[in-house]
Structure 1
């Protein structure tokens, strides 16, 4: 994908004038130039890939109860503490998603006229696949617009954004009202369905029997021709499998409490869309054994071929050599800035190794030895006091008895504010020391199978209860049991067994498992809003732990770190203020 985008950019540069010495009028070419130049046409589609809405950093997590930032200038810190407005919205997706949709609309309006190849069969195959990509990407871009800007208006309607399916020009009417949320969901599903008609499930090697039936009567079309256009050299681009996962995400959003009263999406449908993705890997048996630590060296990242995905990943970014995440988040003694500080709130959400929440009398939790016998994910995801960032590194002491800047609140802008540092997403074999600057391979997990498993569990529990399967081969209970077994919960998981007939307690567990499994991957901010938790929960104070050691006694003292200041209307994001002032037909979400 990286090579494709770079090549497209070069082609656009080289074709920007008729020849080197005689530039075209104003050095601007008309869109009709794409008809004879497939590279030019693919460059337009490539812009929608460049504008994908994913982040490798846990930006929004520091605006939730899972983390804080030690950077006082952090936009999300300011948002969480009271500065979020329609003028100042760091979560806005308005411009980027709309730009991407405009490129996709231009591409779709012109793709049929592009000479993708001289051979008519190959031309048809290219046209089908590339249009399928465009439809799938448009569904994705619209989904992220709804996440950021869908909401209830003052007149009591659940609204989405304006649906635009044609290229806009200087003479277009930009003063368009918002479509309803349901109309936007319908549009996304329609785009996804159209994409699935045109895309291969995966880019791979094909046999003649695997060529889609719709091409059965096309003379001269066999596995060789189909693979030329849809072979594994195209891995990394959006595929049918990825579109199915996006559709499952959309259905879960629409069925969630914050939106369900304004849509007709049911929990049964949401579970069905997720099951369609999971059944392709054998259901629960397909849960990747090391899926919880997909970012580490031991996950097999070093062996991944171009565009190849491991068992846990449905879609990922390119792999690149970097150290930015580690430089941002390692403790100061390891040449990091310690930016993202996990909270005590999140630490307390990890159960004991026997599966019981630490608040349950059967958990055997010891507040004087709080990290003993805990869910193994706690130590895998968070650097605790007197633990190591990685094998062979120095012990990190965040307690007040430490001698380095790793100590809580020791040095403003570098030291932890909560008593914890981030481990998840980071590679311990990176060295940000300026003398070495040792980089390692990283990628962004855009969509993980674990996310879809948890989406299924949530929807299935609401539709059929903890152990109901609705005709599928597995239930919410089955999914959660498998995820917790993978995590290392031992002893038969007595707590899970005790609640498997209680829908409300199972709901709480599913939400907590989602919190743990997807922490620091930019899910929590939207999850607690689509669940429509209480305003008190939305504003739960971010807490930390101060560890002191007078003599030989270790004392753990909970501390309040950062208050949250969200208002009732902030379960939904705003339409940007500048757009509201420009276009009279646009209606703002209530409260903004």
Structure 2
């Protein structure tokens, strides 16, 4: 069998099905129909490969610039337009409608035909292939449906919480396309059902095993040679979706359904969400299994350089392919380093980082000094954000973002190039890239699709709501235990036993605030903040993005917070719209309230 990389090269075979006249049947001049896949496994896998190509993950922090965490200096940016009042049902950069539904069509085509495919002439090996590929298909459908629900689920004017139309069979030219939306709960049930089916079919991880490790279900079919199993599920399959990954997706979906914006319309509880997350975390030993360098996964250079094909570092549950480029650096390095400075962290986000002793900077115990605001702060601030007079990397010059800068790195020095907030993004970037056209140095990067830290934070959030800060609900660790491990890894509160955490561990409301803040810090610039603000139903979605103007008139720095960008979200925008064009075509589709 071919690897995913090779299958994607063959995806041109499947594009026969995507022409506007031939979406459901090959054109007359095509002499190959769906039945051609039955004796051509690569052709069959090409259909499923489209669901991988259409995965909903981004390598760039697109949506963050529409939140209180960042702005962009690109005046033509769609997310800037969205955040400042131009978001409509017909102009929606957050829409997932078409891409996800296209992927689901490919998945359903595959599932409807896979049992007829001759994957191997050996009956038992054929069964193993069919199991694995069906498992991948069910898992991928859960991923695609979760993304659809995240973007388009919401309350209607009639007070019903709806999701999207559930489609589990391939659509043909004779299908009824005028389908109503299923309820949000029905969509969650379908996602969890698909995830559970996938778990029955997929290995926890792909990898070569020995004869004694052959799963019992295949031993009962007569598989005694690990080589036969490895041919189907061995090292060469790493990088595809697995049982471990779909457990994490199930936890994501449960957290969404249990969240304040949705929980009155679902039966999913905080306890359910916590336990689904625990299924993932127990496999690494709970908080003790938190990767020690996981918070700098993007900058762990020796680790990235040494990644074998499909292998994920300890922090990563699922990653994208490793690519050699400097695209992120070209977009986001300061101008003096030949970058475009696109994503500018806000003062709002900078203020979220506590002091080194763990106290929020607005707490008198923090020792925060407004005249020296970047001193004695959470080390993650320097890991993720370039502040005034810091460097982009150990070999770069000092970056001056203040008004006294003698180049375009300074705040608002050059429209469309310089920072608007007084900060540049460091997270996701490799300092050893050099966009200078004279050198154009590229390095390896990958997209972290799902991180363990995200699932740890999901558990902490759900466990705190279900059982309080120190309750475990039958698990072996609490929300407090998780947050303590994350903050210890970051290096904060080490000299005082993290006194702030200790002071809030008996208060569910204060612990909720701390968990949300830790989630904001740990997952910044990874396209989580927008969705978190919406599912929490909090006012931050409309918070003015702020920056810091730093002057040096007489050799003494002055720090002046400034308003940078007003947000213009209406209350109904906590739930995304169904595309206007779809409503025009299909009368049974009901729009979310307000759109």
Give the TM-score normalised by structure 2.
0.96
Is residue 290–residue 299 contact of structure 1 (8 Å, CA) maintained in 2?
no
The CA deviation at 1:232 is 1.2
* Structure 2 SS opposite 1:565: coil
Deviations 1:300-343 (A, max 9, x none): 10000000000000000000101110000000000000000000
The superposition leaves residues 202-224 of structure 1 with CA deviations (integer Å, 9 ceiling, x where unpaired) of 00122334322222321245422
Query: What secondary structure, in the 3-state scheme, does the structure 2 residue paired with 1:294 have?
Result: helix
Task: Please report how far the alpha carbon of residue 11 of structure 1 lies from its aligned counterpart in structure 2 after TM superposition.
Answer: 5.9
Q: Conserved in 1, the CA contact under 8 Å of 2:152 and 2:577?
A: yes
Distance 1:34 1:586 in 2: 34
Q: Secondary structure at the match of 2:487?
A: helix
State whether structure 2 residue 517 is matched by structure 1 residue 508. no
Are 2:299 and 1:275 equivalent residues in the alignment? no
In the TM superposition, what is the alpha-carbon distance from 1:298 to its structure 2 partner? 3.5
Partner of 1:495: 500
Partner of 2:90: 87
**Contact kept? 2:51, 2:107, Cα under 8 Å:** yes
User: Partners in 1 of 2:390 and 2:73 — Cα distance?
Assistant: 20
Equivalents in 2 of 1:10, 1:122: separation in Å?
Answer: 27
**Structure-to-structure mapping, 1:10-25, within 5 angstroms:** 25=28
CA distance in 2, matches of 1:453, 1:61: 21
Alpha-carbon contact 2:239-2:319 (below 8 Å) kept: yes
Is the 8 Å Cα contact of residues 102 and 167 (structure 1) preserved in structure 2? yes
Match of 2:485 in 1: 482
Query: How far does the alpha carbon of each residue in 1:531-565 deviate from its partner, in whole angstroms, 9 at most, with x for none?
Result: 1113xx22110000000001211000000000000
- Choose which of 411, 414, 421 in structure 2 pairs with 1:411: 414
Quick one: distance in 1 between partners of 2:202 and 2:302? Answer: 29
> Matched residue of 1:438: which SS?
coil
Spell out the pairing of 1:344-359 with structure 2 (5 A cutoff): 344-359=347-362
User: Structure 1 length normalisation: TM-score?
Assistant: 0.97
What SS does the corresponding residue of 1:415 show, helix, strand or coil? coil
Secondary structure (helix, strand or coil) at the match of 1:556 reads strand
What displacement does 1:226 show? 1.4
**Is 1:207 the equivalent of 2:223?**
no
Deviation at 1:392, TM superposition (A): 1.2
Q: 1:456 aligns with which of 451, 459, 472?
A: 459
Aligned ranges for residues 542-581 of structure 1 at < 5 Å? Answer: 542-581=545-584
Q: What is the DSSP-based 3-state SS (H/G/I as helix, E as strand, rest coil) of the residue aligned with 1:39?
A: helix
- The equivalent of 1:20 in structure 2 is none
Distance 1:126 1:390, change over 3 A: same
1:324 aligned to which of 323, 327, 332: 327
Count of matched residue pairs: 584
Which residue is equivalent to 1:526? 531
Write out aligned runs for 1:232-251 (5 A).
232-251=235-254
Q: Distance in 2 between matches of 1:255 and 1:325?
A: 34
Would you say 1:44 and 2:52 are equivalent positions?
no
CA shift at 1:13, angstroms?
Answer: 8.8
Q: Distance in 2 between matches of 1:476 and 1:14?
A: 50
Q: CA deviation at 1:29?
A: 2.2
Residue 160 (1) aligns with residue 156 (2): no
Cα 1:556–1:579 change in 2 (3 A) is same
Distance in structure 2 (CA, Å) of the matches to 1:155 and 1:5 = 46
Deviations 1:13-68 (A, max 9, x none): 9999xxxxxx9942352100000100000000000000000000000000000000
For residues 299 and 584 of structure 1, do their structure 2 counterparts lie closer, same or farther at Cα, with a shift above 3 Å needed?
Answer: farther
Q: Are the equivalent residues in 2 in contact too, given 1:297–1:427 (CA < 8 A)?
A: no
1:583 aligns with 2:569: no
Q: Is the 8 A contact 1:461 1:507 kept in 2?
A: yes
**Counterpart position of 2:376:** 373
Q: Secondary structure at the match of 1:561?
A: strand
Alignment CA distance shift 1:48-1:544 (3 Å): same
- Ranges in structure 2 where 5+ consecutive residues have no aligned partner: 19-25
Given candidates 430, 433, 436, the residue that maps to 1:430 is: 433
Matched with 2:146 is 143
- Superposed CA deviations along residues 235-280 of structure 1, whole A, max 9, x for unmatched, are 0000000000000000100100000001000111100000010000
Deviation per CA, 1:148-172: give whole Å up to 9, x if none: 0000001100000000000001110
How far off its partner does 1:430 sit? 0.2
